[in-house]
Amino acid sequence: DAKTTQPPSMDCAEGRAANLPCNHSTISGNEYVYWYRQIHSQGPQYIIHGLKNNETNEMASLIITEDRKSSTLILPHATLRDTAVYYCIVRVTGNQFYFGTGTSLTVIP
């Protein structure tokens, strides 16, 4: 079962930062948080992952709270191509991904 909860939908103005929250209050100490996104009828695309430190790559930043019970994905300058469903996933001990319902992000011109 998914160990994450996310808001079902969010809007963001083009050019602005998109901040997508995720709760994972039952996460265990050695479980990583992964973020993927899925554009309609395509396979999910990897964005970023982390354990406890904040992470940044060319696509996004990941902020994980100190207690690790929640995290936020930040897309610094959202574009129309960032419109997608964003999934926050806790990778369990067996390495499986159990997807939650995700957040449908719509970037508005």
Partner 1 sequence: GAVVSQHPSWVICKSGTSVKIECRSLDFQATTMFWYRQFPKQSLMLMATSNEGSKATYEQGVEKDKFLINHASLTLSTLTVTSAHPEDSSFYICSASISLAGGEQYFGPGTRLTVT
Under the rule (CB under 8 A), what is the footprint of partner 1? 2, 32, 34, 36, 38, 41-46, 49, 87, 91, 94-102
User: Rounded to the nearest whole angstrom, what is the least distance from the CB of residue 93 to partner 1 in the complex?
Assistant: 9
Nearer to partner 1, 13 or 56 (CB): 56
Contacts of 17 (CB under 8 A, 6+ apart): 74, 75, 76, 77, 78
Nearer to partner 1, 18 or 48 (CB): 48
Q: Is 43 helix (H, G, I), strand (E, B) or coil?
A: coil
